[in-house]
Structure 1
Amino acid sequence: MLSGLLLILVLLPLIGITVNGAFQHQITQSINNQLRAYVYSVLAVAEVKDEHVVMPNYLLENQFNVIGSGLYALISSEDKLVWHSESFLGLDLPTNQSTALLLPAPPMGQGQLTQVRFDDLAGNSNNNHVVYSFSVSFETNETPLAITVHIVKDDADYQQQVSEFSTTLWTWLIVLMIVLALVQAIWLFWTLKPLNQFTKELALVEQGQQTRLNQHYPNELNAVAKQLNVLLNTEQLQRQRYRNALADLAHSLKTPLAVLQSQTDLSPDSKEQANNINNIISYQLNKAKSSANQAWHLGVSIDDVASKLIRTLAKIYQQSHIDIDYQAPAKLVFKGEEADLHELLGNLLDNACKAAKTQVCLSVTKTDSSLNFIIEDDGNGLTEVQRQNIFERGIRADTYNQGHGIGLAIVQDLVNSYQGELTVAQSEQYGGAKFTVTFRH
């Protein structure tokens, strides 16, 4: 829209300037031809006697005979006025200090069109006049007599024509610019409407509010919409088959492990290894459930997941009098699966509740480039060594302060699967640990 409007604002004024200039040039040429014809009419009746110009009392063009008619004929020789028409009575041409006429004197046999301003005898200033001067030479018995004929015409008519034409031209150009801008706006709105609808539907799919593109689009976009719908359907089916396969695997391994663990003749080491196998299978299954790379179009309400977790944890830790503070803007969306967000926040909040004395805080912030989850507590915090080792596999909660470490390896893998970042620091506000999860977008 801006590029089209810029084209209109540049192109039409350039056309106006060009047309207006062409019209002024045409008017100038017309005046030049008209005044040249008057010069020839004056020269036709001019005579030279005794090296003096002799003119009839009345000229054929009646405007030369009417005082103040606006059309005047002058003849000068050697920068001195030697004759003027009756219409010039009461006017005085400008002269320099030596009383030489300030009128052009073109080369012999050539004409020149200029402008001049002169005063009347009372000193009142008149408007500009156009002057066409033409130099000729009369042959006499002794020496040739060089004279210049000046035809002076009031340029008020000329200026009025130019002004009227310019006003009309620019008025219609402005009207045309407005009409073209409106037509362009309507045309662009109509032609780009499918693209706007396409963008809105993609946003709805990305937010999880719909699973496919439902609108009918023009041929240029219809193929793209069909391919996207095929991609979305295929991705959903693949995720569903993946989940079903994982559920079948977990179910098929559950019974043999249960039978193995129920054997009474197993040694303590064997039972421990069976428990380890069970934990490893659970861990790997939970890790495999994360499908972040295929869930670009999903949208999960953070408020819904966080509120459920806080209510559940508040009941679990009711005896410990743990206060969980939740701070987040409304309608924030996590672009991923609900199970992943539930496991991520659940592990971090559960660890924080176990480590806290009385206060846990979950803060969610969003910027133009990231979504941030901040979990803080007022516990004893973590040492520098514990911060470095806390995400290592095999580290258990009882190897350092109670509450940190349980499920953190799973949390780390979940964050990595979404190309996020998990950092641990000391909470400035509460004094305990501060876990920050950042997802870039």
Structure 2
Amino acid sequence: MLYALYEAGYYGSTPLRLTARATRDFWSSSLNPARDTPVGRRLFASADLFANLTRRYGRPDWNIHEVMIDGEPVRVRKTEVWRTPWVRLIHFTRNMADMRKAGRTSLEPPVLIVAPLSGHYATLLRGTVEAFLQDHEVFVTDWSNARDVPMLEGRFDFHDYIDHIRDALRFLGPRPHVVAVCQPGPPVLAAAALMAEDDEPSRPGTMTFMGSPIDARLSPTVTNKLAEERPFAWFASNMIYTVPAPYPGMGRRVYPGFVQLFSFMSMNIERHQQAHLRYLEDLMKGDGDSAEKHLEFYDEYLSVLDLTEEFYLQTVKTVFQDYLLPKGELTHRGRLVRPEKIGDIGLLTVEGENDDISGIGQTQAAHALCSGLPEALKEDYVQPHVGHYGVFNGRRFREEIYPRVRGFIRRFEAKVDKRAAANAAE
């Protein structure tokens, strides 16, 4: 019912939204002699803010067309290389002629960046992708909006997620590197453990976990405490709604993206209110640069997707209530997941000092679980002065975190090359 009411509210506000757009266009027109007056700027700013707050935010564009590599511009093309109804595997292909100009003539290690399926689109990792493109062939999981997947395609749950990660790694070939950002940590670790136990050629070379709830019992945050305090039945009764018409997935039971967005925004409501007030003031002052930065952030932040009922509820119970992976009780398709069987996959964990989503220690827990790994293949890093978003985006990520991830992968690749050379000599 809530989903239908939400849609009715959007369509019901259409006349007001159209009026606001017309007002905004009128007071920003170069033909209006009063547009630069205090009254004109105030009317324009108010109309623009209302139009932006009430409009529909769709899937954002990646807008990655070029990256700088060793001082040379390299063109980038986005290509879909594999898909299911639930995910598209995107390859960001770098132009080879430009790569040669930058002095890069050999193949570089492939990296699979597993985007979170927790309410936002994969484009939230735009900055992450741009950083990795400097040194790697980059592939990203671009998850589907559940409301756009017809009921005929069936279910998608926590274990289907694990299977999708395994299939994506197999598609990339021998020993690709995998980076899990936030939510994917537990299923990616489970996929790696299963592939390691089976000695699959496509098991990861290294796995990097960034701000991931591997063990959500440690340093619990507001989000973790909510999951503990509420019984499982509460989530099933209060967080799940039916997709209405005219969406392709109408009738599907989902955890709507707008519910997730409201939950996140309510945690920092004053900060968001102040941000919009500053935006209003910037427009009235004519500060277009500051206003544009605000729009860039909220165009991404307010773009949300729905999760299937089964995936959301299983994640709540498996990761945030029963803690099955760290307790050694997680099973997948009848098999016990045993991270201790991982023996030759490099492990790097990255956490943010001020992370209010995944507290310090939750990601580091992967080291204890992967007890079969030699210490030489393990590294941990806590980035000072950053919160959850700063672990995978922003200046400190580009300048301090990414170089550590790059160095970790390079050291693993160097060991592989050394072993290959030794075997060839024999």
TM-score under structure 2 length normalisation: 0.22
Report which of the two structures shows the higher radius of gyration computed on alpha carbons.
1
